[in-house]
Amino acid sequence: MKKEKSNRNRNVTLRFTMQEYSQLKDKFTASTCHGLSEFIRKHLFTKPIVTTYRNLSLDDLMEETIVLTNELTAIGKNINQIAKKINTADSFFEFKQEISILNIEKKMLFRKIEEIRSHTQKIAEQWLQL
């Protein structure tokens, strides 16, 4: 049987650690390939290469999400502190004062929830356009 002439005239040099080369040699030896070059070519051209795609336009939205999350965490901590003060209030005046602070925090919380809803809507619209 006559061998076809190869038009392969480009060289690529790879460097391996001793461990990597040993693994490569072991896999090559266990294969049915006639040469190491054939073995490497088969792996290069037959295995799918997984690539990732990063939508950079979502970076601003992600930053805004982080800020909103931090603000919600702070509001939640404030509400917990107020609840503790309400539960340990010694007087009606103290209790009433903490309730009014709680109402202010509640309004802030609802505003942040609305911001998150709006932010989520922006993300959804951008995602659906992809």
pLDDT tens across the length of the chain (130 residues)? 556 667 888 888 989 999 999 999 998 889 888 889 888 988 888 866 566 566 666 777 778 888 888 888 888 888 888 888 888 878 888 888 888 888 888 888 888 888 887 887 777 777 666 4
97-106 as b/e: b if 16+ CB within 10 A: ebeebbeebe
The SS3 of residue 10 is coil
Q: How far apart are CA 120 and CA 126, in angstroms?
A: 10
- Calculate ∠ Cα 121-123-129, nearest 5°: 105
9 HSE (CA, 13 A, CB side):
2
